[in-house]
């Protein structure tokens, strides 16, 4: 299988191949064309620039790919040139037309740091800054400096003035370095005047500037902080310690504002339900539904129950009083009329079991007599008699002659009886029970 070189893809003949003059000439022509049109080599993602020590031209075309590289001084696309000396030098040039930046570093046994190469504009601006800030305007009025028109050799005087300006600029630079070193040390960044500007300037970028809008009302008392406006500020929020437990009482309890280091527990009460609270009274958002009676009200109820024949006292619970009320026997009464066909009287649909039934009507179609009879429950028996008209009827008294009644019955919702002398007459009845 033929092999090729890495860069120009020149054929590498195998041991069993014949090499002709034409093939050798073709190789030389390809070398000549390749050298004349040598192309830059692409730097792929995840590469380490420390591994690039082969002389040549390289490039990385996208910012995203640069972000994956190791030991790159920038985060934007660039071109990289590698040249040989005792080791190699890398020169990296960024792609942005409006922000051209050049960085260099050397490799010999190990890599040196990247250094930014100042542009012509940066050098010119630095010179202007030195001259503008290092030489006080008053110094230009010293004899022999500005009175050039009084001297015969203006050139030599101009040189003297330039040398003095450079000297003054150097002295001003020393003073400014001392000020920068002092400022770095004051914010905790170690620096000395023995360090070069190339070492001091990167340290300036390591200074962390305070930001944010926190105020003293946002910070615990005794703690210091800084914000975008000032340093060394002190917080004012009181430190209250542990939160503790709050047990509700009859008066309000205030937990003073401040910081609590543990949770604040508000005690709950499982019995705080509507059924346990007085009706229409509200406690912590729960409205009561429990109705209670006073002692005097309970005494009155007990007296009423006792008066009905069932003994009751205020010592009885409400449930017991309710039970005793159901034990009170009450009299029930109803009345009506019916037609006695064949002398039989039958009534049903009464809402209780009659204990006493009274019946009365005309006797044998004779208007001169009025007859009545009574049925008694427990045990069932009857009483019959002839009663003259307009005679008062009393359940315990009869007048006239007794008469046996037939088919006397009392059941749970009515009664029935038969008496021949009432046949075909309207019969009236009354019933009592309890």
Q: Are 92 and 75 in contact (CB under 8 A)?
A: no
Per-residue exposure over 231-247, b if at least 16 CB sit within 10 Å of its own CB, e if not: eebebebeeeeeeeeee
- pLDDT above 80 for 376: no
Identify the pLDDT of residue 343: 76
- pLDDT above 60 for 208: yes
Q: Is 375 helix (H, G, I), strand (E, B) or coil?
A: strand
Using one digit for the tens of pLDDT, what is the confidence trace for 18-35?
778 787 787 777 776 656
Interatomic CA distance for residues 347 and 190, integer angstroms: 121
Least trusted range by pLDDT, from 9-18, 63-72, 205-214, 221-230:
9-18
- pLDDT above 60 for 123: yes
- pLDDT above 70 for 116: yes
Q: What average pLDDT does the segment 247-263 reach?
A: 90
- pLDDT above 50 for 368: no
Q: Are 52 and 58 in contact (CB under 8 A)?
A: yes
Summary mean pLDDT of the chain: 78
Identify the pLDDT of residue 150: 41
- pLDDT above 90 coverage of the chain, percent: 29
Backbone φ, ψ for residue 194 (5° rounding): -75, -15
Interatomic CA distance for residues 27 and 19, integer angstroms: 11
Q: What average pLDDT does the segment 71-75 reach?
A: 95
Q: What average pLDDT does the segment 134-163 reach?
A: 41
Q: What average pLDDT does the segment 148-153 reach?
A: 42
Interatomic CA distance for residues 235 and 216, integer angstroms: 4
Q: What average pLDDT does the segment 285-305 reach?
A: 88
Identify the pLDDT of residue 166: 52
Q: Is 106 helix (H, G, I), strand (E, B) or coil?
A: strand
Identify the pLDDT of residue 161: 44
- pLDDT above 90 for 111: yes
């Amino acid at each position: 299988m033929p092999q090729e070189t890495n860069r120009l893809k020149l054929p590498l003949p195998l041991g069993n191949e014949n090499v002709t003059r034409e093939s050798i000439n073709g190789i030389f022509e390809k070398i000549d064309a390749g050298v004349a049109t040598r192309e830059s080599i692409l730097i792929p993602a995840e590469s380490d620039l420390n591994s690039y020590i082969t002389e040549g031209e390289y490039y990385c075309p996208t910012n995203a790919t640069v972000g994956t590289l190791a030991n790159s001084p920038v985060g934007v696309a660039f071109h990289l040139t590698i040249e040989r000396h005792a080791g190699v030098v890398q020169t990296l040039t960024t792609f942005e037309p409006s922000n051209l930046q050049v960085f260099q570093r050397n490799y010999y046994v190990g890599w040196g740091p990247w250094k930014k190469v100042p542009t012509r504009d940066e050098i010119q601006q630095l010179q202007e800054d030195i001259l503008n800030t290092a030489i006080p305007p008053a110094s230009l009025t010293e004899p022999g400096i500005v009175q050039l028109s009084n001297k015969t050799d203006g050139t030599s005087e101009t040189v003297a003035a330039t040398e003095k300006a450079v000297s003054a600029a150097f002295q001003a630079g020393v003073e400014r370095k001392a000020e920068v070193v002092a400022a770095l040390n004051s914010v905790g960044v170690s620096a000395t005047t023995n360090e070069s500007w190339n070492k001091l300037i990167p340290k300036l970028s390591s200074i962390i500037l305070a930001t944010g809008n926190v105020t003293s009302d946002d910070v615990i008392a005794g703690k210091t902080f800084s914000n975008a406006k000032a340093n060394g500020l002190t917080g004012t929020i009181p430190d209250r310690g542990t939160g503790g437990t709050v047990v509700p009482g009859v008066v309000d309890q205030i937990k003073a504002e401040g910081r609590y280091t543990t949770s604040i527990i508000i005690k709950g009460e499982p019995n705080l339900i509507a059924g346990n609270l007085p009706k229409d009274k509200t406690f912590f958002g729960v409205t009561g539904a429990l109705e209670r009676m006073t002692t005097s009200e309970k005494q009155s109820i007990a007296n009423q129950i006792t008066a009905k024949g069932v003994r009751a006292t205020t010592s009885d619970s409400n449930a017991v009083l309710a039970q005793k009320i159901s034990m009170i026997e009450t009299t029930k009464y109803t009345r009506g009329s019916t037609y006695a066909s064949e002398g039989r009287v039958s009534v049903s649909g009464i809402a209780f079991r009659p204990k006493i039934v009274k019946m009365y009507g005309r006797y044998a179609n004779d208007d001169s007599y009025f007859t009545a009879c009574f049925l008694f429950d427990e045990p069932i028996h009857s009483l019959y008699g002839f009663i003259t008209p307009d005679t008062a009827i009393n359940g315990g008294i009869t007048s006239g002659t007794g008469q046996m009644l037939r088919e006397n019955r009392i059941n749970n919702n009515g009664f029935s009886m038969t008496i021949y002398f009432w046949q075909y007459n309207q019969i009236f009845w009354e019933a009592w029970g309890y």
